[in-house]
Amino acid sequence: MEALSVAEIPEGPEWQYEPKWDGFRCLIFRDGDRVTLQSKAGRPLNRYFPEIVEAALALDHARFVIDGELVVPDGRRLSFDDLLQRIHPAASRVKLLAASTPALFIAFDLLADGAGMLVRQPLDERRRRLERFARQTFGRSSRFRLSPATTRLADARQWLKRAGTTLDGIVAKRRDLDYRSGTRDGMCKIKNFRSADCVVGGFRFNEGRRVVGSLLLGLYDEEGQLDHVGFTSSIRETDKKALTGRLKPLIGPPGFTGAKPGGPSRWSTERSAAWTPLKPKLVVEVCYDHFSGRRFRHGTRLMRWRPDKAPRQCTFDQVEQVKGNLMSLLN
């Protein structure tokens, strides 16, 4: 179940509000002695978070499916940088980090328990069962926490004020709806800024240098075509050489299968407009000011890489579109 990015907190008795944690979305499946951690993109995460696998096996319930967030605490804050370090190819490095910067799993939905599947139950019932599950099992675990939830708008607004410091924003969920896997129906996310996950479909070199200068961003349209929607050039100078090396193995056509970057214009030369296509493997989260006409109207700010996201999840429906007659504001 995914969230639609909106600008304002939805109001009404049908909504439940929760903090939005700064981590990796994760499903935990346990069936007896088998535990599977699954990313939002459907990829296995067991090898990267062995301490969570071990903690899940230690819970009293032998069969369950929990939806939640993997986070790494750093004092009273959460460290997304430390979390990214866990996605490492070397098992020895993962083992060291699991001991030095152990992760937590923050649970916010229960999809199955010993009595059976709960996905067709409304959120109110799933939340009641999750709270009972947490009371019975989480108290003896140092790696599991229950995410708070409220129906009070005042509480949600207070949480939103902490976004960017201890939280990533808030989430609003319809209390009367079932769990709608793969859709953005019934769940919204609200931040103090607007961001989007985009595919890196290509790049441009720095003018006069053979290092990456900007990343070209793409979103998948309704027909499954990758459209070019803008760029980000907020790459730290010290990172450009290493990033260029990271991109080289991914160079290859077509880059964008739908709308493509434009050619030279009055603002650019043929050389500065040239771009290099990449295989659609990498996802970045960018912060933006304005999105219209199916593209970012200004340059975006690179926030972070998202190895936990599948490129195919980067679609236009995550970007809130302005509706209505904007000219009426001038009347």
Helices 91-100 and 50-58, packing angle to 10 deg: 60
Q: Does residue 20 have an active-site annotation?
A: yes
Where are the extended beta strands (E) located within the chain?
4-5, 15-20, 24-31, 34-39, 63-71, 73-74, 77-78, 104-113, 116-117, 144-146, 169-174, 187-190, 194-205, 212-220, 226-232, 276-277, 283-288, 291-292, 295-296, 301-305
> Going by C-beta distance under 8 Å and a sequence separation of 6 or more, which residues neighbour residue 2?
40, 182, 183, 184, 187, 313, 318
How many angstroms separate the CA atoms of 49 and 69, rounded?
12
How many angstroms separate the CA atoms of 264 and 106, rounded?
49
Tokens 């002695």 found at: 33
User: Which three-class secondary structure state does DSSP give residue 248?
Assistant: helix
CB atoms within 10 A of CB 243: 16
Q: What's the one-letter identity of residue 253?
A: P
**In whole angstroms, what separates CA 23 from the centre of its chain?**
8
How many angstroms separate the CA atoms of 218 and 254, rounded?
12
Single out the catalytic residue among 20, 189, 191, 309.
20
> Going by C-beta distance under 8 Å and a sequence separation of 6 or more, which residues neighbour residue 34?
none
Could you tell me which of 280, 307, 278, 296 has the C-alpha nearest to residue 234? 296
How many angstroms separate the CA atoms of 129 and 125, rounded?
6
Q: Active-site residue numbers? A: 20
